A and B are shown apart, each in its own frame.
Chain A
Amino acid sequence: MKKYSILFVDDDTRLLSALRRLMMTRAVEWSCQYSASPEEALALVTTQHFDVVVSDMQMPGMDGAALLQEVRIISPDSIRIVLSGYSRTETIARVAGPAHQYLAKPCPSDTLFDVIQRSLMLREFFNSPVLRRMAGALTALPSPSGKYASLLALLDSPVSNATDIAQAMTGDVAMVAEILKLTNSQYFSLATKVTSVDQAVRILGVEIIRLLVLNVGIFSMFKATGPAARVMNMVEARGLLLANAAAERASVIGGTQRDIQFARIAGMLSEIGMLILLDRDPDHYTLALSKAVASGQTVAETEQRLLQVTHGDLGAYLLGTWGFNDDVVWAVAAISPSAPTEARNSVVARALLSARTLHPLEQALKAVFSEPTAAHA
């Protein structure tokens, strides 16, 4: 059996030795290394491969955000987790980009084990190196220029409030994903998962969102024009469409309130993988999509053939590494050819699948490509 490799970085050596003792119980599956200096850790990352890097935030010389930023470049497929005693929201804003997840000290050992275990399981399941690199190298999710600009305008205005901002973010896949990622991190230690953008915006506060958008740059503006921009707009509109449809389906098949909320999130974020692929190479991806439509192949088949990755897997892996709920992750992954059958069994997955069947992606794309002049929204 392959051993997973994990690197812990913290300037407090007592903390490292305690972790070493704790990790003794996992010594069979995990091979752990410990570094008290970020510079040394960086050297280790350069020479060895780590599946997971867990780093403290505040360290002399180089802080956790800077270290993980470097790790993202050197080893994009490593899962990056912050374990910090810092309790300021500004801090989480700083690592919102480079870290997949944010754990707050003191973190119960079970939580630490679970988060690492889950990251490793995701890697086991989504074992395509292409996919992991693509998801790992992601710096910012793209938003359509119009939505991005209106959010900037709102954040610039001294009179805008949380309601306005939440409204502006609600329809945008990237914004919903990022903001839910942050508010669901263990840092906020909320008893229940945040499932609405409105709640999330209120929890973070307008100041932090301003910091995230303007300084950290967790969203980027999607600059491509022409067919790529039309695909982008379709993905956005589809997010809301599937969110509502999936929530409705979840309710019809007797899901709990929680299922309905997760179905809504899964619907909203179901095509998030397309955003990453679009942003990476707008022209080629758009071309691939148009070929799929023309040839009658499914989008997933075409993506797998041309890019060795499907947007469903990519999205699911991304959401998984960000600590989204398992139901949401597997529901998003369910359309992937590689998705396990048990992934299709949850209410959330069934609701999303049924919503997707009701509104096939291929049909939406056909509309985009058959009306070349109609989409300058």
Chain B
Amino acid sequence: MDPVTAAALTFAAIAVPTGALGLSIVRRSRQCREKQALVIDRLEDCLTLATDWVWECDTEGRFTYFSQQIETILGMPVTTLIGKTRREIAGTPSSSATVQKIETAMADRKPFADITYSALLPDGTMRHMRISGKPLYGPDKTYIGYRGIGSDVTQQVTEREAAQSAEARLRIAIEGIPEGFALCSIAGIVTMRNRRLGKMVERAGGHIDREPTLRAILTSCAEEPQAIHDYLDAWYTRVAKPMEFRCRSGLIYVARTQISPDNSILLTLSDVSEQRRAQDAEKRLEEERRQAQKLEAIGTLAGGIAHEINTPIQYIGDNVRFVASLLPDLIRLAEEVKKSEDTRSLEEAWSAVSGIVGAMDLDFIAEEAPLALEQTLEGISSVSRIVLAMKEFSHPSLKDPVPFDLNRNIENTVTISRNEWKIVATVDLDLDTTMPPVIGLPGDLNQVFLNMVVNAAHAIEDARKPDLGVIRIQTRQADGVVTISIADSGCGIPEENLSKIFEPFFTTKDVGRGSGQGLAIAHDIVTRKHGGRIAVDSIPGEGTTFTITIPLDCSTLPQYQTQPETLSGDGAHGQTAQVSS
């Protein structure tokens, strides 16, 4: 009931007894009359100004009076309503229950208030009306009908109904979400959630309290609640990122939070355990594949390197033994000379010395001893070179790009793989001396180069040409791009195989010579880890050229970009970095 109507009713109620009193108090009757006229004036104003209307009906419920407003409100002349019952006006069975309520109240002569019923108007529109009324008695206290007010609440009703159905639809919608969902106030108090959230929290080993908060729900699930705290604490200051966490039960969940335009927090919780398991399995498989290839390469290399080292060690040993075998004679000679200085005659000394010298194969010693030592030193330096190259070659596997000397890496690769190619080919290095440090993963690239050099040697061997083959390795750099080409004069790759060479497990080699993974992994290292390309160009019978192009600095690739969290350096960065990785 709006305030104007309420005031009018009050005045109306006061007016009648005041009028009755006025008869007995004559002295004041003039003033009273004036006052009464004022009240009636006010009342009339109220009635005309109010958005509600006043109604009256007779004892049978037939309307006898409507205030004028009803015409503007309902768009129906008052005359068409007079004489009709409420039920007749309502005209819709849906409101019969509420109309019944009014009729019951009226049958009992009881006042009623704020009963809403709907009426289908002749123009086809549905109106909702809220009615209050009280019985009306004549001066003789006989019941003469009802008087009351009515108002059009169509707008409120439709709005409420719309709101109710929106909520129902929202509920249906959130129950339909295949993930856990909660709607929270900005303070984190959960106002609505779907059943799936409850089930997920249960499966996670967590619980939902009677008045749950976002924080309480998530921390109850998480194996490390601190991570959730950190995440939520950091949450208000940055763009919310999905937060992946491990549950008490071992499941892996991802929580996503976002703020809706009305300042609510929307939480979705998804179970990614299955995906993670599959991804982990794939990663492990990939890692095992990689490891197997690496071991295979190491095995091949180790054999070759052992050979490269064992031969020099053999002749170093033999030479030293030879030189050692000469020493006793030389020492005896020196001793004889020394003895002759004090005691013996020159003649005696001379005969002893010449006896020793005579027994020595002086020509042979003079020629061979220096050579033996010279070649021993050569042997030592070649062993050292191999060992050093090996040490440099076996860079630990790095995750992030580092600057390195590409040319030197290629030289090392060539040195340690010498045993693989030396029988069948020469290696011709054409390295760009202007090459600046390249930023990448040297250990991985070494694996690529080694694979290429060994493949080249195999291709040359398979070509079975009478002359030694050539492996030509060239490096170039221009405009921030490094090009490495490895060309061999081998058997070439048949055209039908060209498209397959980078596929894992594709190989034309005999068992024990390659598992068909080298090029697949090389491709992965160059393209994925360095953002580069490998091109292959082959003429069967003439040779193959692999051309690798990589950026001079691959640390700018997106996968090596550190997340902003890791730079901000607050306590939450560990966890948030984990989320984004």
B-contacting residues of A (Cβ < 8 Å)?
10, 12, 14-15, 17-22, 24-25, 58-60, 83-88, 90, 104-109
Residue B170 lies at the interface, judged by CB distance under 8 Å to chain A: no
Tell whether A17 pairs with B375 under 8 Å between CB atoms, given A25-B325, A87-B302, A87-B303: yes
> Are A109 and B309 in touch, CB under 8 angstroms?
no
Residue B372 lies at the interface, judged by CB distance under 8 Å to chain A: yes
Residue B571 lies at the interface, judged by CB distance under 8 Å to chain A: no
> Are B306 and A87 in touch, CB under 8 angstroms?
yes
Q: Nearest Cβ in chain A — how far from B377, in angstroms?
A: 11
Chain A's closest residue to B424 (CB) is: A60
> Are A24 and B364 in touch, CB under 8 angstroms?
yes
Extra inter-chain contacts (9) besides given A12-B315, A86-B306, A87-B303, CB under 8 Å:
A14-B315, A14-B379, A18-B316, A21-B372, A22-B321, A24-B364, A59-B423, A60-B422, A60-B424
Residue B317 lies at the interface, judged by CB distance under 8 Å to chain A: yes
Q: How far is the CA of A40 from the CA of B322 in the complex (A)?
A: 26
> Are B423 and A58 in touch, CB under 8 angstroms?
yes
Q: Which residues of A contact B98 (CB under 8 A)?
A: none
Q: Which residues of A contact B315 (CB under 8 A)?
A: 12, 14-15, 17-19
The number of inter-chain residue pairs (CB within 8 angstroms) is: 84
Q: Which residues of B contact A109 (CB under 8 A)?
A: 317-318, 321
Q: How far is the CA of A131 from the CA of B424 in the complex (A)?
A: 40
Q: Which residues of A contact B424 (CB under 8 A)?
A: 60
Q: Which residues of B contact A106 (CB under 8 A)?
A: 310, 313-314, 317
Q: Which residues of B contact A12 (CB under 8 A)?
A: 311, 315
> Are A85 and B375 in touch, CB under 8 angstroms?
no
Q: Nearest Cβ in chain B — how far from A215, in angstroms?
A: 11
Tell whether A90 pairs with B375 under 8 Å between CB atoms, given A59-B423, A85-B310, A109-B317: no
Residue B282 lies at the interface, judged by CB distance under 8 Å to chain A: no
> Are A86 and B512 in touch, CB under 8 angstroms?
no
Q: How far is the CA of A22 from the CA of B320 in the complex (A)?
A: 9
Residue B489 lies at the interface, judged by CB distance under 8 Å to chain A: no
Residue B368 lies at the interface, judged by CB distance under 8 Å to chain A: yes
Tell whether A86 pairs with B303 under 8 Å between CB atoms, given A12-B315, A22-B322, A106-B317: yes
Q: Which residues of B contact A84 (CB under 8 A)?
A: 307
> Are A85 and B364 in touch, CB under 8 angstroms?
no
> Are A18 and B322 in touch, CB under 8 angstroms?
yes
> Are B309 and A18 in touch, CB under 8 angstroms?
no
Chain A CB count within 10 A is highest, among B313, B321, B325, for: B321
Q: How far is the CA of A19 from the CA of B321 in the complex (A)?
A: 10
> Are B310 and A108 in touch, CB under 8 angstroms?
no
Chain B CB count within 10 A is highest, among A14, A58, A109, for: A14
Q: How far is the CA of A104 from the CA of B311 in the complex (A)?
A: 10
Q: Which residues of B contact A88 (CB under 8 A)?
A: 303
Q: Which residues of A contact B468 (CB under 8 A)?
A: 60
Q: Nearest Cβ in chain B — how far from A21, in angstroms?
A: 4
Q: Which residues of A contact B317 (CB under 8 A)?
A: 106, 108-109
Chain A's closest residue to B309 (CB) is: A85
Residue B477 lies at the interface, judged by CB distance under 8 Å to chain A: no
Residue B295 lies at the interface, judged by CB distance under 8 Å to chain A: no
Please, how many residues of chain B have a CB less than 8 angstroms from a CB on the other chain?
Answer: 33
Chain B's closest residue to A57 (CB) is: B307
Residue B371 lies at the interface, judged by CB distance under 8 Å to chain A: yes
Q: How far is the CA of A343 from the CA of B423 in the complex (A)?
A: 47
Which one, B312, B419, B512, contacts A58 given CB within 8 A?
B419
Q: Nearest Cβ in chain A — how far from B308, in angstroms?
A: 8
Chain B CB count within 10 A is highest, among A15, A17, A18, for: A18
Which one, A18, A60, A85, contacts B318 given CB within 8 A?
A18
Chain A CB count within 10 A is highest, among B302, B307, B372, for: B307
> Are A85 and B311 in touch, CB under 8 angstroms?
yes
Residues 313-360 of B contacting A (Cβ, < 8 Å): 313-319, 321-322, 325
Q: How far is the CA of A227 from the CA of B308 in the complex (A)?
A: 53
| 16 A-B residue pairings within 8 Å (CB atoms) | A14-B312, A14-B378, A17-B368, A17-B371, A18-B314, A18-B315, A22-B318, A24-B322, A25-B325, A59-B423, A60-B422, A86-B306, A87-B302, A87-B307, A106-B317, A109-B317
Q: Which residues of A contact B419 (CB under 8 A)?
A: 58
Chain A's closest residue to B422 (CB) is: A60
Q: How far is the CA of A18 from the CA of B371 in the complex (A)?
A: 9
Q: Which residues of B contact A60 (CB under 8 A)?
A: 422-424, 468
Q: Nearest Cβ in chain A — how far from B337, in angstroms?
A: 25
Q: Which residues of A contact B378 (CB under 8 A)?
A: 14
Q: Nearest Cβ in chain B — how far from A81, in angstroms?
A: 14
Chain A's closest residue to B466 (CB) is: A61
> Are A58 and B368 in touch, CB under 8 angstroms?
no
Chain A CB count within 10 A is highest, among B308, B317, B419, for: B317
Which one, A24, A25, A85, contacts B307 given CB within 8 A?
A85
> Are B325 and A85 in touch, CB under 8 angstroms?
no
Q: Which residues of B contact A22 (CB under 8 A)?
A: 318, 321-322
Q: How far is the CA of A226 from the CA of B580 in the complex (A)?
A: 80
Q: How far is the CA of A167 from the CA of B177 in the complex (A)?
A: 65
Chain B's closest residue to A207 (CB) is: B512
Q: How far is the CA of A108 from the CA of B317 in the complex (A)?
A: 7
> Are B375 and A18 in touch, CB under 8 angstroms?
yes
Tell whether A85 pairs with B306 under 8 Å between CB atoms, given A12-B311, A21-B368, A60-B423: yes
Q: How far is the CA of A82 from the CA of B268 in the complex (A)?
A: 72
Q: Nearest Cβ in chain B — how far from A321, in angstroms?
A: 23
Chain B's closest residue to A15 (CB) is: B315
Chain B's closest residue to A104 (CB) is: B310
Q: How far is the CA of A60 from the CA of B421 in the complex (A)?
A: 10
Q: Nearest Cβ in chain A — how far from B50, in angstroms?
A: 99
Tell whether A85 pairs with B314 under 8 Å between CB atoms, given A21-B322, A22-B321, A58-B307: yes
Q: How far is the CA of A90 from the CA of B313 in the complex (A)?
A: 22
Q: Which residues of A contact B325 (CB under 8 A)?
A: 24-25
Q: How far is the CA of A25 from the CA of B310 in the complex (A)?
A: 23
Q: Which residues of A contact B306 (CB under 8 A)?
A: 85-87
Q: Nearest Cβ in chain A — how far from B295, in angstroms?
A: 14
Q: How far is the CA of A107 from the CA of B317 in the complex (A)?
A: 9
Q: Which residues of B contact A19 (CB under 8 A)?
A: 315, 318
Q: Which residues of B contact A14 (CB under 8 A)?
A: 312, 315, 375, 378-379
> Are A105 and B368 in touch, CB under 8 angstroms?
no
Q: Nearest Cβ in chain B — how far from A50, in angstroms?
A: 20
Chain B's closest residue to A211 (CB) is: B512
Q: How far is the CA of A107 from the CA of B307 in the complex (A)?
A: 13
Q: Which residues of A contact B371 (CB under 8 A)?
A: 17
Q: How far is the CA of A17 from the CA of B318 in the complex (A)?
A: 9
Tell whether A15 pairs with B311 under 8 Å between CB atoms, given A21-B368, A58-B423: yes
Chain B's closest residue to A60 (CB) is: B423
Q: Nearest Cβ in chain A — how far from B376, in angstroms?
A: 8
- The list of the 10 closest CB pairs from A to B, nearest first, reads A85-B310, A18-B315, A21-B322, A18-B318, A105-B310, A106-B313, A85-B307, A87-B306, A22-B318, A105-B314
Q: Which residues of A contact B310 (CB under 8 A)?
A: 85, 87, 104-106
Q: How far is the CA of A22 from the CA of B325 in the complex (A)?
A: 9
Chain A's closest residue to B364 (CB) is: A24
Hey, what's the 0/1 contact readout for B286-311 against A, CB within 8 Å counting as 1? 00000000000000001100111111
Q: Nearest Cβ in chain B — how far from A272, in angstroms?
A: 32
Q: Nearest Cβ in chain A — how far from B179, in angstroms?
A: 47
Q: How far is the CA of A14 from the CA of B311 in the complex (A)?
A: 9
Q: How far is the CA of A14 from the CA of B364 in the complex (A)?
A: 16
Q: How far is the CA of A15 from the CA of B308 in the complex (A)?
A: 12
Q: Nearest Cβ in chain A — how far from B320, in angstroms?
A: 9
Q: How far is the CA of A86 from the CA of B302 in the complex (A)?
A: 10
Q: Nearest Cβ in chain A — how far from B400, in angstroms?
A: 35
Tell whether A15 pairs with B314 under 8 Å between CB atoms, given A21-B368, A87-B303: yes
> Are B311 and A90 in touch, CB under 8 angstroms?
no
Q: Which residues of A contact B307 (CB under 8 A)?
A: 58, 84-87, 105
Q: Which residues of A contact B313 (CB under 8 A)?
A: 105-106
Chain A's closest residue to B300 (CB) is: A88
Chain B CB count within 10 A is highest, among A10, A19, A21, A24, for: A21
Q: Which residues of A contact B364 (CB under 8 A)?
A: 24
Q: Nearest Cβ in chain A — how far from B360, in angstroms?
A: 11
